[in-house]
Amino acid sequence: MKVNNAPVLRPEHPEPRLLTDFAERFGLTPIGDIDGVETVGATVSSVDVRPGEIFIAMHGVPRQGPQFGARRHGAEFVAEAVEKGAVAIVTDAQGAEMAKDCGLPIFVMDDPRPHVSELASWVFGNDGRMPLILGVTGTNGKTSTVHLQHEILRALGRTTSLSSSARRIAADTEVTAKLSTPEASELHAILAFGRERGVEVMCLEVSVQAIIHGRSSGIVFDVAAFTNLQLDHREDFADMNDYVRAKARIFQNGSARRGVVSLDTPWGKIVADEADCPVTTVATPEIAEDVELAESAQWIARMTAERVNATAFTLDGPDGQHLESTVPALGAHMVANAAMAIVTLVEAGIAWDDIVSVVDGRIPGFLPGRTQLVTTGRGPVVYIDFAHTPDAIAVTAAAVRRVTEGKVIVIFGADGSRDGTKRPIMGLAAVRNSDVAIVSDYNPRWEDPDLIRAQLYEGAAQEPPAGGLFNIADPEEALDKAMSLAEDGDAILWCGPGHQDFLDVRGKRVAYDFPQISLDALRRYGWG
């Protein structure tokens, strides 16, 4: 697959559209001359402006910096957009005043944010020309589910797009993701890029920030899916009820034509009950918080066996459907993700027999950073996983424990400039299925990494593992410590890095090849 390091996919052969037509379509009166001026795109990021695009300058733009959560007006960055070749500005009255001397025509709206999707859809020519769109939301499992959907569809010969927290893919082109869900303008750029390549289906991870900040507004999902709700994002919501109702919006007000909802957490029943589209339910009773509720689901998945690099399962449906397969990752939670992916495809109209033809025995493909096995020879088994919530760390460590004869050594950290209240709970979750636990740095961003580790250590120290609890700042030194304690038959689970190849430190992305670092450490300790 061709890998492109460009920040945003754009159509290579855009269809220019006149600003006069844009003004007429959206009922806008420009400040400045627009006669004969054409546009080929739109973006909300001044960093990503390309020549010929409209810059949408909104209030409340998040900017990376020491004050996490601080919001600024996009019009502060109009000069950068002009320098990069923007042809017009869309903004509010405050932004228009700030940008009045920029030299470009300005369109004024009360609040551009709710309209970004509609504006970008028209500019990129997507209106009325959309592929089948599958959306997946929930706390854990979103990325794995969309990647499994994508791999199954590719095996069926479908041309697909994918957007997850790991990567953006359209046909044979891939770029690294910046946000779990792209801004609406980037999403429509990807859709236009995919249309040039004959994309039939898009698999889209939908974060809760995307829902509440309008990144997915204007998109009608052919099928939307809900995986689960766990402790996360306390900085954004008053409580879990507030959190679940934000997630549930994807199933309401015409946002989805059909829904698939997991009953592995009781929150799924709230989502299903409050949806205004037809909903199909799925569950994996083995990991469900309410087994009786889970057993009431229309589709039931059950884990049948675990190996170091795969998990076998069965899936049974309401009309006698039966499947035996294997997901290329470890743990019953991965069975839940596989079941969600398959049932979503069924609800999207993919024939059951066709699905069975490509997943019977084993689901094809690879899940980046999900209990990713990096060991190649003797010595301890090393896994890299993206787990970054208390529940994700707990279930992943438990899965590793079940397939490990020797000790389980867990290395873990937490994102900086994010919800700090969950960190002690993450620490406790990490030690409950470990013999040794090591707290280390992971993406401190603009926070003091010593403080982050102290909060994680505080929780872990409540139940310190028998083999020791360590606080080691440098990730490579933490891995060295784990290697020094490991023996043949042990497992090292490195939580946090997952698919990422960098650490985010004070606004700089420091390159880190976690699999290669792990292999190098194995060799240094003589495992070869």
Fold classification of 2-123 is 3.40.1390
Confidence of residue 223 (pLDDT cuts 50, 70, 90): very high
pLDDT tens column, 31-45: 999 999 999 999 999
CB 258 within 8 Å of CB 238:
no
Greater confidence (491 vs 128) lies with 491
Q: How far apart are the first and last CA of the chain?
A: 30
In this predicted structure, the answer to whether residue 259 has a pLDDT above a threshold of 50 is yes
In this predicted structure, the answer to whether residue 68 has a pLDDT above a threshold of 50 is no
In this predicted structure, the answer to whether residue 230 has a pLDDT above a threshold of 70 is yes
Confidence of residue 69 (pLDDT cuts 50, 70, 90): very low
∠ CA 339-199-355, rounded to 5°? 30
pLDDT tens column, 168-199: 889 988 877 665 667 889 999 999 999 999 99
Q: What is the pLDDT of residue 239?
A: 85
Annotated domain spans of the chain: 2-123, 132-158+200-359, 372-524
pTM of the model: 0.84
Q: What is the pLDDT of residue 41?
A: 96
**Burial letters 390-413, b for 16+ CB under 10 A, else e:** bbbbbbbbbbbbebbeebbbbbbb
∠ CA 246-251-252, rounded to 5°? 85
Share of the chain above pLDDT 70, in %: 93
Q: Matching CATH topology for 2-123 and 372-524?
A: no
Fold classification of 132-158+200-359 is UDP-N-acetylmuramoyl-L-alanine:D-glutamate ligase (3.40.1190)
User: Which range (94-108, 272-286, 382-396, 465-479) has the least confidence?
Assistant: 382-396
In this predicted structure, the answer to whether residue 308 has a pLDDT above a threshold of 80 is yes
Fold classification of 372-524 is Protein-Tyrosine Phosphatase; Chain A (3.90.190)
Confidence of residue 77 (pLDDT cuts 50, 70, 90): very high
Say whether 250 sits in a helix, a strand or coil.
helix
Q: Mean pLDDT in the chain?
A: 89
Length reported for the chain: 528
pLDDT tens column, 86-138: 999 999 999 999 999 999 999 999 999 989 999 999 999 998 889 999 999 99
User: Which range (80-94, 146-160, 359-373) has the least confidence?
Assistant: 359-373
Q: What is the pLDDT of residue 66?
A: 45
